[in-house]
Structure 1
Amino acid sequence: MSGYSGNNQVDLKGGGDEVLGLFECGYRLSASDEPQPALDYFAQAVALIPDSSDMWERLGTCFRDTGNFERADLCYQRATQLDESNFFVAFHWGLSWMDRRNVQEALPLFRKAADLKPENVFAHKHLAECYRVLKMSREWQAEMKKVLALEPSLWHKLPESFKRALQGAI
Structure 2
Amino acid sequence: MQQPAQPFLPLEHVSHNCRSARFSHSRYWVRLFQTVTVLVCMASTGTAAQSSSADAQTLLRKAQASLAAGNFAEAIQTFEHARRLAPDRLEATRGLLLSYLEAGDLAPAVTIGRSAVERWPQDAQLHHWLGLAYFKTGRNEQATEELKRAEQLETANFDIHFDFALVLLSEKQYPPAADELQKALKIKPSNALAHVLIGRAYQNSNRTLEAVEQFQIALRLDPKIALGHYHLGFAYASLGKNHEAIAEYEKEMAHSPENPDLVYELGHSLLETGDWKSAVVHLRRATQLNPQNAESFYDLGKTLLLQGDPQSAIPALRRAIDLNPRDPSPHYQLARSLDKIGNVTEAKQEWQRFSDLRKSQQESGGMATGRVH
What is the TM-score normalised by the length of structure 1? 0.77
Which stretch shifts more, 133-142 or 43-52? 133-142
Aligned twin of 1:10: none
Alignment of 1:10-159 (within 5 A): 16-154=53-191, 157-158=195-196
- Looking at structure 2, the residues matched to 75 and 111 of structure 1 have their Cα atoms a distance apart, in angstroms, of 19
Pairwise CA distance, 1:70: 2.0
Q: Is the contact made by 1:57 and 1:75 (CA closer than 8 Å) also made in structure 2? A: no
- Looking at structure 2, the residues matched to 115 and 21 of structure 1 have their Cα atoms a distance apart, in angstroms, of 33
- Looking at structure 1, the residues matched to 113 and 174 of structure 2 have their Cα atoms a distance apart, in angstroms, of 30
Question: Using CA pairs below 8 Å that are at least 6 residues apart, which structure has the higher relative contact order?
Answer: 1
- Looking at structure 2, the residues matched to 152 and 56 of structure 1 have their Cα atoms a distance apart, in angstroms, of 31
Structure 1 counterpart SS, 2:130: helix
Q: Aligned partner of 2:53: which letter?
A: G
Alignment length (residue pairs): 156
* Alignment deviations for residues 100-131 of structure 1 (CA, whole Å, 9 cap, x no partner): 23322221222222222211111101112222
Q: Is the contact made by 1:54 and 1:79 (CA closer than 8 Å) also made in structure 2? A: no
What is the TM-score normalised by the length of structure 2? 0.38
* Alignment deviations for residues 43-90 of structure 1 (CA, whole Å, 9 cap, x no partner): 111111223333222222223333332222221122112211112211
Q: Is the contact made by 2:156 and 2:187 (CA closer than 8 Å) also made in structure 1? A: yes
- Looking at structure 1, the residues matched to 109 and 123 of structure 2 have their Cα atoms a distance apart, in angstroms, of 16
Pairwise CA distance, 1:16: 2.2
Aligned twin of 2:233: none
Aligned twin of 2:294: none
Structure 2 counterpart SS, 1:158: helix
Percent of aligned pairs with the same amino acid: 17
What is the aligned-residue RMSD (CA, Å)?
Answer: 2.7
Structure 1 residue ranges, 4+ long, deviating more than 6 angstroms after superposition: none
Structure 1 counterpart SS, 2:177: helix
Structure 2 counterpart SS, 1:152: coil
- Looking at structure 1, the residues matched to 144 and 186 of structure 2 have their Cα atoms a distance apart, in angstroms, of 21
Q: Is the contact made by 2:131 and 2:143 (CA closer than 8 Å) also made in structure 1? A: yes
Aligned twin of 1:162: 201
Q: Is the contact made by 1:88 and 1:113 (CA closer than 8 Å) also made in structure 2? A: yes
* Alignment deviations for residues 18-60 of structure 1 (CA, whole Å, 9 cap, x no partner): 1110111001101111011111111111111223333222222
Structure 1 counterpart SS, 2:88: coil
Q: Which has the higher Rg, Structure 1 or Structure 2?
A: 2
